[in-house]
Amino acid sequence: MDIIAFIAGLIVGIVAVSIAVEFAWKKSAPEKTCKLTKKWNLAELRNPLIVAEKLNVSPPADAKVVVATPSPLAKKARENPDVTGNFAVGLNKAYIFAGEIKEGQIAIVTSDDDILRELRDTFYEFYKVKEKVVSYVPKKGKVKIRGVVKAVFPYRDGYLMRVSYEGGLVGVLLNERMDVEGRKVEVEGEVIEYPFIKPTNITVLD
């Protein structure tokens, strides 16, 4: 019985050691921080920062975006013609795209801290470029300007939004009041009688 007990104990010990070694080996194996996917979702990113040569999907509402080429889906994006590459980075993961950001595009998903830090630095390098602002408004014709709203007040049968831009002040004719005093806006429209603009589109930029 003593010999049997000894052999049984020896076997149990060998098995226990084997399990411990295997467990330690698995723990010491490098953690996988990157993978390829086509099933990405920008909405999964927290506080997303997006760099795109051209954006062909709608960004999350809270995203900061900088693009090389404007598109209808990136109306609020900052434009920088020097942008190269396509990626979106959040607090704890990022997508690095093989081409333009569009549905079905293959992407690398990574949670590597060093890569995330590098992508954020790259984003802000592109994002900090001063936006180009129109420096004049023609006497008549189509116009697109960016400026800060100084006041909105009743005017004739509607309202007038007074906008300060690099070249001075203009009045934007509104049918309804907009609560945008102090906000930065982009106004597209037509100068009907200088300095009054009839807008076709008004975008709040901040």
* Chain segment 98-130, per-residue pLDDT in tens: 889 999 999 999 999 999 999 999 998 888 865
Residue-wise over 22-32: b if at least 16 C-beta within 10 A, else e? eeeeeeeeeee
- 3-class SS of residue 131: coil
* Chain segment 43-62, per-residue pLDDT in tens: 999 989 999 998 999 999 88
- Does a structural domain hold residue 186? yes
- The pLDDT > 70 percentage for the chain reads 80
* Whether residue 118 is found in the same domain as residue 148: no
- Please give the model's pTM, rounded to 2 decimal places: 0.51
- Does a structural domain hold residue 29? no
The residue to which tokens 């690095």 are assigned: 96
Q: Which of 102, 127, 152 is the last residue of a domain?
A: 127
Q: Which of 75, 92, 127 is the last residue of a domain?
A: 127
* Whether residue 38 is found in the same domain as residue 112: yes
Query: Domain residues for 75?
Result: 34-127
Domains held by the chain: number: 2
CATH number for 177 = 2.40.50.140
Q: Please tell me the number of Cα atoms within 13 Å of 174 on its side-chain side.
A: 21
Using CA atoms, how far apart are residues 144 and 184, in angstroms rounded to an integer? 14
pLDDT confidence band for 17 (50 / 70 / 90): very low
Whether residue 204 contacts residue 180, with contact meaning beta carbons closer than 8 Å, is answered with yes
* Chain segment 72-87, per-residue pLDDT in tens: 888 788 888 889 999 9
Using CA atoms, how far apart are residues 195 and 121, in angstroms rounded to an integer? 41
Q: Which of 104, 127, 150 is the last residue of a domain?
A: 127
- The pLDDT > 90 percentage for the chain reads 46
Query: Tell me, what's the pLDDT at 163?
Result: 93
